[in-house]
Structure 1
Amino acid sequence: MNSEPHNLFLIKEEQIQNSQIILTGSEYHHIKNVLRKKPGDIIYLTDGSGIQFQVVIENIIQNAMVCKILEKRKIPRTNIINLDLGIAPLKGGRTDFIIEKGTELGVRKFILFNSKFSVIKNFSQARIEHFKRIGISAMLQSQQYYIPEVKFSNDITEEFSNYDLVIVGDKNGNDRIVPGIKNILLLIGPEGGFAPEEIDAFSKKGAKFTPFSKNRLRSETAAIAGIVKIISYYEQ
């Protein structure tokens, strides 16, 4: 298997036909017209579930590229821990930024949730699909093989039972990160922070409050700082 850096492209199951994969649309255009790949060149594909396909371009016809599968293998996740991120939606492109960079760092799931001080309270399904596309693009760019999940929750505390540890980013918190944990939810609040009743609800559900800096951070900065701190702690 060639270990050199390579471009990675996403395919759907229906594009796989026995020992061949048929590329069309934007993938076909990018590989043919941007990368200028030709028959005999090797490229890498994934279905987003951890499978890597090493293929060779056999033929290029009008609006389609026929590739032969040379090798198919399961790629392990890059991080040992399962880290998911709960975020109160932010204005502008800042939620996009968190999903993009969080995916690059190995976050597996993004849970958007309502918070009392959130400026944006709800998202349409079209907006959720937009965030999913951001995650897919970041997955491919960072050469990962698992599509991150994006979902919306009306009550984030209902998600707590799915995790061994819930960490809330809090400048004034004094809880230490607990060793030996594999399944973690990190919560980042809106610019106005969490309301006292939200903090109380999180605490009653067993959440830990941990600072990621001595300085006051914007929500997107806190998200990245928290992700890096948690991954660095458990991956060392």
Structure 2
Amino acid sequence: MQRYFVEKMDDNQSTILGEDVHHITRVMRMSIGDQLICCNPSGKAARCTITEITNESVLANVVEWIVDTVELPINVIIVSGLPKGDKLEYVIQKGTELGASEFVPFIATRSIVKWDEKKSGKKVERWEKIAKEAAEQSHRTKIPTVQAPLTLKQLLSLGESYQYKLIAYEEDAKSGEKSKLASTLEQMKPGDSLLVVVGPEGGLADKEVASLRDAGFVSCSFGPRILRAETAPLYLLSAVSYYFELAR
């Protein structure tokens, strides 16, 4: 059943607006009486029946609320050093499918891509759209937040709000470190948040790692192999899912 995220939804009715109206009427060719799933901003989902269609909106009555839990038990915030090409789009799409709650691009020293502030609005809008579509496809009840890129200083400030924060550091992988990720997950309980920093293609600079460590971040490996910038976040999310959703 097709899933849509809506801003206006009460206990009895949901109102679908914007591009989703076109998708419902022109792409899915739904009509009055057809059913779909609506998710409200708080993460609750309901099976609904379409009762009215106009050019601007689709109204649907709530038939039943869905109680299945599909979100990760902990909130995982992925901080990605800006990679080249469309790699960040890939991370956002697949990371959403794997349960990330937020994506934070990071303007790293070794980022090849130079961030253009003039185009930032449209770029972030595209990332948000990718996250929304991936959340619908994977039947999530929440759309991950996507921020505009942060500087190192801004990232250090962001880290002050989190108790658990890790750095994926290839030097730790090379030295054989393999316990810090597992030990961090062992300390966490449902509802906690984990902030994870992954570098760009060239990795994080030593000064960046030193600054992050000074701010309370813990560097660790994601196994003995060196992962690409777009692979590491997906490895982390898969590990979290296994630990909290399958191994218990």
Instruction: Please report how far the alpha carbon of residue 191 of structure 1 lies from its aligned counterpart in structure 2 after TM superposition.
Output: 0.7
Instruction: Please report how far the alpha carbon of residue 133 of structure 1 lies from its aligned counterpart in structure 2 after TM superposition.
Output: 1.2
- Aligned residue in 2 for 1:180: 187
Tell me the SS of whatever aligns to 1:43: strand
- 1:133 and 2:132 correspond: no
Once the two structures are overlaid, the 10-residue window that deviates more, 167-176 or 26-35, is: 26-35
Structure 2 runs not aligned, ≥5 long: none
The count of aligned residue pairs is: 229
Contact 1:24 1:63 (C-alpha < 8 Å) held by counterparts: yes
Pair 1:67–1:208, CA change in 2 (3 A) = same
| Residue 229 of structure 1, aligned match among 217, 239, 246 | 239
- Aligned residue in 2 for 1:35: 28
Instruction: Please report how far the alpha carbon of residue 33 of structure 1 lies from its aligned counterpart in structure 2 after TM superposition.
Output: 4.0
Instruction: Please report how far the alpha carbon of residue 69 of structure 1 lies from its aligned counterpart in structure 2 after TM superposition.
Output: 2.5
Contact 2:37 2:45 (C-alpha < 8 Å) held by counterparts: yes
Contact 1:42 1:54 (C-alpha < 8 Å) held by counterparts: yes
CA distance in 1, matches of 2:203, 2:144: 26
Instruction: Please report how far the alpha carbon of residue 130 of structure 1 lies from its aligned counterpart in structure 2 after TM superposition.
Output: 1.5
- 1:146 and 2:148 correspond: no
Pair 1:187–1:25, CA change in 2 (3 A) = closer
Instruction: Show the 5 A alignment for 1:81-100.
Output: 81-100=74-93
- Aligned residue in 2 for 1:218: 228
CA distance in 2, matches of 1:25, 1:164: 38
Contact 2:21 2:55 (C-alpha < 8 Å) held by counterparts: no
CA distance in 2, matches of 1:48, 1:19: 15
- Aligned residue in 2 for 1:68: 61
Read off the aligned partner of 1:169 and give its amino acid letter.
A
Read off the aligned partner of 1:82 and give its amino acid letter.
N
Pair 1:234–1:10, CA change in 2 (3 A) = closer
- Aligned residue in 2 for 1:112: 105
- Aligned residue in 2 for 1:157: 156
Q: Give the CA RMSD over aligned residues.
A: 2.5
Contact 2:17 2:58 (C-alpha < 8 Å) held by counterparts: yes
CA distance in 2, matches of 1:197, 1:93: 27
CA distance in 2, matches of 1:180, 1:114: 30
Tell me the SS of whatever aligns to 2:156: helix
Between the aligned residues of both structures, percent identity stands at: 24
Once the two structures are overlaid, the 10-residue window that deviates more, 80-89 or 206-215, is: 206-215
- Aligned residue in 2 for 1:3: none
- Aligned residue in 1 for 2:3: 8
Instruction: Please report how far the alpha carbon of residue 216 of structure 1 lies from its aligned counterpart in structure 2 after TM superposition.
Output: 2.4
Tell me the SS of whatever aligns to 2:209: helix
Instruction: Please report how far the alpha carbon of residue 22 of structure 1 lies from its aligned counterpart in structure 2 after TM superposition.
Output: 4.3
CA distance in 1, matches of 2:232, 2:193: 20
Instruction: Please report how far the alpha carbon of residue 157 of structure 1 lies from its aligned counterpart in structure 2 after TM superposition.
Output: 1.6
Instruction: Please report how far the alpha carbon of residue 171 of structure 1 lies from its aligned counterpart in structure 2 after TM superposition.
Output: 2.7
CA distance in 1, matches of 2:213, 2:19: 47
Once the two structures are overlaid, the 10-residue window that deviates more, 87-96 or 209-218, is: 209-218
CA distance in 2, matches of 1:159, 1:92: 26
- Aligned residue in 2 for 1:166: 165
